[in-house]
A and B are shown apart, each in its own frame.
Chain A
Amino acid sequence: MELLYYPGCSVEYTAKMYDTSARAVCKELDVELKELPDWNCCGATTYMSVHELVSHGNSARNLALARREGADQMVTVCPACYITLYKTNEYFQTNPEFADLIRQGLQAAGLDYDGGLRIRHLVDVLVNTVGLDEVEKRVTKPLNGLKVAAYHGCMLTRPFGGFDSEERPVILDRITRSLGAEVVDYPLTAKCCGGMVTNTESSKTIPVVARLLREAKYNGADCIAVACPLCHMNLDFYQPEVNQYLGGDYTIPIVYFTQLMGLAFGIPKEKLGFGLELVSADKLVSRYA
């Protein structure tokens, strides 16, 4: 199966291990990710905070380019890109008045968009299109004994729901289990990590990050699996501050769910971007690779 792929700015650099591992895992599952040519920044949560229409216009350029490629769906790995593109797309499908304004922008640039795309996140594709039985078939090195806190974060299922619960999603739990790993209880799985605010006001949002790390530790997790570049950044980068704030050792490796998949598929760890994280996942990786 060939799928049009919108990588997004984060996975080009800060979250490059997400991109590499996603591509490697998809290849193994016979899903060919075809990168959208000349994609631009979707605007994430930030552009929207200054200009509403322009933000949707930028986002819509990607949708227009995707249609030009003849696609009827496009997949992304970053939940912020996912929700931004999804939201613009949603306006094209449900709010003709607003869509008309955005189209005027596109048309000024010689582009157009008909609302004919379906925006998807990779977890949805893997579970609901490829199927977990296919995933299980590829597992050559089951992650037996690995205890994982599967952390969904906010934007995977909010506000639109779509493929899982907005309150207590389980899709990452299901993927993790299909790899032979154990999923620990993690009630905060859909609680926010602070998002961009952790970047701008880190001193104020350390308690938010601390809560997430502490709960994973309390429940005996060996690592936290994430599906979002911003979750990864916040949980991985700010561990020294959290340890200081909580006055204890809450160090725990943060991995992308695609990295765990690759590990279970027997893909060499270099091809999964292990070693690029700040809090080393070496100990965990060497148990299986």
Chain B
Amino acid sequence: MPRSELRTKTRVQKLSPEELSDIFLSHVYALPDGRKIDLCIQCGTCSASCPTAYAMDYSPREIFAALRAGMLDRVLYSNTAWMCTSCYICTVRCPQQIKITDIMYELKRLGIKYGYTSPSTRAAAMARIFINITNRLGRNNESELMARFYLAGRWGDAIKNAWRGAKMFFRGRLPMPISGRKVAGLDEMRKIRETLERLEEEKMAKEEAR
């Protein structure tokens, strides 16, 4: 079970890179202000401002070059979007008002949906565990999140962080890993989720058809 959390469910297989690029571009364009990526002047302000660019396979500026060159499959296989911390400094600085952070989010979502995530990042696994927990409890449980994340192949981190984790636990800063606390409105949340998942599928199908 935990291992499988590392793998991505591949929904679409055997699409050519060109076909994938078209699909992805259609979704990026459909974002609010998504068309603005065509206006990128390759100035590099985003890359120079990005706190984690040094650890990215491609910097944010290169992502926009690749997007327009139809090389999106490569972009998705890179760790770039998953190294994005969502700090929004690129977004507020971009001279062309491209909503770079929102596009990073879209790339993460598309990567998960189409089974294109970088093998060098575990952040996608973390995201999936987080969603499983918040769907089930209505709120996050940090202990369960970290335990499942570590079990899914991060033993080194687990051992390294164990002492500090224990300190936090005994100071009341971590919940019991299996906690009974639940939001009373879980049923409301389930209905919201089911409806919006369906609408999300419809919205994406429409964007691809365009």
Contacts and interface: CB of A to CB of B under 8 A. Distances in A.
A104 interface: yes
Interface string A41-54: 10111111111111
A45 B84 CA distance: 10
A2 interface: no
Interface stretch (B16-24, B62-70, B101-109): B101-109
Interface residues of B, number: 62
Given A61-B185, A191-B51, A197-B85, A49 B108 contact: yes
B168 A158 contact: no
A16 B85 contact: no
Contact of B196 (A16, A57, A237): A57
A98 to B, nearest CB: 7
Contacts of A196: 85-86, 123, 126
Interface string B193-209: 11111011001000000
The range of chain A's interface size is 35 or more
A41 B139 contact: yes
B164 interface: yes
Interface in A32-85: 38-41, 43-54, 56-58, 60-61, 65
Kindly name the residue among A43, A57, A95, A237 whose own CB sees the greatest number of chain B CB atoms within 10 A.
A57
17 contacts: A13-B174, A15-B173, A16-B172, A50-B109, A53-B197, A57-B192, A61-B185, A101-B199, A105-B195, A109-B191, A158-B88, A167-B92, A192-B89, A200-B122, A201-B123, A207-B54, A208-B51
Query: What are the 7 tightest A-B residue pairs by CB atom distance, in nearest-first order?
Result: A192-B87, A195-B85, A158-B88, A109-B188, A154-B87, A9-B140, A109-B191
Interface of B: 32, 51-52, 54-55, 82-89, 91-92, 101, 105-106, 108-109, 112, 121-124, 126-128, 130-131, 134, 138-140, 142, 149, 157, 161, 164, 167-168, 171-175, 183-185, 187-189, 191-197, 199-200, 203
